[in-house]
Amino acid sequence: MENRKALRSREELEEEVNLAAAAITLNVRLRSSDMPVYMQQRALRLTRSLLDSSSAPKTTTTTTSRPNPTHLARAIKKEFDLLYGPAWHCVVGTGFGSFVTHSPGGFIYFSLDDSLSVLLFKTEVQLVTERKP
């Protein structure tokens, strides 16, 4: 039993080290999360990929356009809905406040390039039925 705990702790530590290395490589600052490491990595890598592809030059000129936060939020939300089920919510911007309730294991808040912040969280979806008098 002790060996199993030690092995599990070592695996968790390796995952966290890999996440930290990915964050450094992607120039991401993880602010808060209760999400499993593999989902955190997916969120960080997806966001960096979307951000990099949206700021790539569209023509032969050297001007780059600033990414649209609404488009980034929509793409991240759709990807997480597809991979991990509904109902994900995403807020992307340079300045916002928030206070949200989320499902356990479904929250991450991070910033990229020290300017753009991303809040991604999951809520449970319940069917609303009519009340009986």
Residue 78 has pLDDT above 90, yes or no: yes
> pLDDT band for position 5 (50/70/90)?
low
- The answer to whether residue 46 scores a pLDDT higher than 70 is yes
Taking the CA atoms of residue 95, residue 55, residue 68 and residue 23 in that order, the dihedral angle to the nearest 10 degrees is -50
Beta bridge partners of 112: 28, 116
* Sheet hosting strand 116-122, strand order edge to edge: 28-33, 107-112, 116-122, 88-93
- Per-residue model confidence (pLDDT) at position 62: 46
pLDDT in tens, 87-105: 999 999 998 888 888 999 9
What is the percentage of the chain residues whose pLDDT exceeds 90? 51
The CATH number fitting domain 2-56+64-122, selected from 3.40.50.10470, 3.50.50.60, 3.40.50.620, 3.30.740.10: 3.30.740.10
